[in-house]
Structure 1
Amino acid sequence: MAHIIVVGNEKGGSGKSTTSMHLATALVRMGHSVGCLDLDLRQQSFGRYVENRLAWLAKAGLDLPSPEFRQLPDIGGDHTADRRLGTAVEGLQDRNFILIDCPGSHTRLSQVAHAMADTLITPLNDSFVDFDLLARIDSDSAKILGPSVYSEMVWTARQARAQAGLKPIDWIVVRNRLGTQQMINKKKMGAALERLAKRIGFRVAPGFSERVIFRELFPRGLTLLDLKDTGVGGLNMSNIAARQEVRDLVKALNLPGVEVTF
């Protein structure tokens, strides 16, 4: 059975598609087979990323490891979220990993995907605006008042998996757009996440800093791991640091059978 990785957060702009593409590419470059699904049926940023990659590689005459992207199938007259997603996942079960990118909103497809997750990755901008999706916090004391909407959905998914006799979700909250200096907000966010992690059960991992290179690579469908093989741009100090961020994230996920070799 494939190990299912779900990248989810009910807020847009947190770096879900960038995280998904770099993780999927890292896995295939290390020799693992990866099937991909994008549940944002309107925007399809992750799907477009893979599509851009295949088109650019064909044009450049290059053959680089790439994840396999699938659209959700139409199933006769029955178009329910459960059936469509279940059928798509079933068709990818011979892969080592299935990576599912969820939309930045609450949908039935996203609910179903979260209940399927062996590993759940939640990219989070280093902001209390994003933190509010996980928990409500007192403005004066910084005391956590209780879980918020997204955490409640994850809890529901965990209950569904427990009732089905499946292993618990390994939930990792990934801190994206971290500042390069020890700013007050960064320290407060770190402390709040550590308190919440113990309370509702997730791990915290470092994500990606704010870098122009991530946006520049999208039209060609490339990742930082591809630069040395494509002749596109150079590995300056910023790009080397960003590549290290990808390596650190993959290590932190502790995925089964994955030994980081890039």
Structure 2
Amino acid sequence: MAHIIVVGNEKGGAGKSTVSMHVATALSRMGHKVGTLDLDLRQKTLGRYIHNRRAYLEKQDMALPTPDYHDLPEVDAATLPEGENIYDHRLSMAVAGLEPNNDFILIDCPGSHTRLSQVAHSLADTLITPLNDSFVDFDLLAHVDTEGEDITGPSVYSEMVWNARQLRSKAGLSPIDWIVVRNRMGAQAMVNKEKMERVINKLSKRIGFRTAPGFNERVIFRELFPRGLTLLDLRDLGVKGMNISNVAARNELRGLIGALNLPGVTVEF
């Protein structure tokens, strides 16, 4: 069975598609077969990213490891049994089609609460939740007091993950390995950063997730999207003298892949 990685939260702008593309491409470059799905049926940022990659490589007459991308299959609602949700059916069909030929299936969820996102979370063997290092984003996981020190209760997204865990437990599936990835962390030891560190550590013990450092804010990520490239592709394009920021970003990606602790994956870049 393919190992299912879900990248999700319920807030836009946290870097889900950037994380999705870099994780999927890194796994492809290490020789793993990776199928991807984008559940943001309107914007399809991950789908566009992979489309841009294929178009650029064709134009340059190059071949680089690339994750496979599939749209959800169309289904005639009239053919479904009474009471079956069409979105559940489309997602289950897509996953069933990808499982036989892939080591990993990566599902990129939209930055909002949808039926598809709910179902995808219940399928996750590994759940990656990118989070900007701010209390605005942290509020998605839990509520804190006015001082930003004490947790007063879980928030909507944590409750959805809890429900997904319950569904998996009832189905006899393995527990979700949940990793909260802290993006855009400040380089300096600022008060906000220190408070975030404390409350995330408290919450991780309370509701059961691991933390991993993600990507800092870097111009390179915005520049790579139109060509569908990732940090790992630069040397193949003949970029020999990468600047300090690019080297640091590559190290961030290496650290993230290692922290995910995916089955059969040894970091080799």
TM-score relative to the length of structure 2: 0.96
**Corresponding position of 1:45:** 45
Change (3 A) 1:141 1:242: closer
**Corresponding position of 1:196:** 203
Report matched runs for 1:221-232 at 5 Å: 221-231=228-238
Amino acid paired to 1:196: L
**Corresponding position of 2:95:** 89
Runs of 4+ in 1 over 2 A off after TM superposition: 76-79, 231-234
Residue of 121, 124, 127 corresponding to 2:131: 124
1:148 aligns with 2:152: no
- 8 Å Cα contact 1:49-1:221 kept in structure 2: yes
Report matched runs for 1:105-184 at 5 Å: 105-140=112-147, 142-184=149-191
Q: Deviations over 1:223-262 (max 9, x none)?
A: 0000000136851111000000000000000000000001
Structure 2 unaligned segments of length 5 or more: list them.
Answer: none
Alpha-carbon offset, residue 140 of structure 1: 2.7
Q: Distance in 1 between matches of 2:143 and 2:37?
A: 31
**Corresponding position of 2:214:** 207
Structure 1 unaligned segments of length 5 or more: list them.
Answer: none
TM-score relative to the length of structure 1: 0.98
Count of aligned pairs:
262
Percent of aligned positions that are identical: 69
Q: Distance in 2 between matches of 1:246 and 1:105?
A: 25
**Corresponding position of 1:73:** 73
Amino acid paired to 2:86: T
1:246 aligns with 2:260: no
Q: Distance in 2 between matches of 1:241 and 1:204?
A: 19
Change (3 A) 1:201 1:193: same
SS in 2 for 1:72: coil
- 8 Å Cα contact 2:165-2:175 kept in structure 1: yes
Amino acid paired to 1:231: G
- What is the aligned-residue RMSD (CA, Å)? 1.1
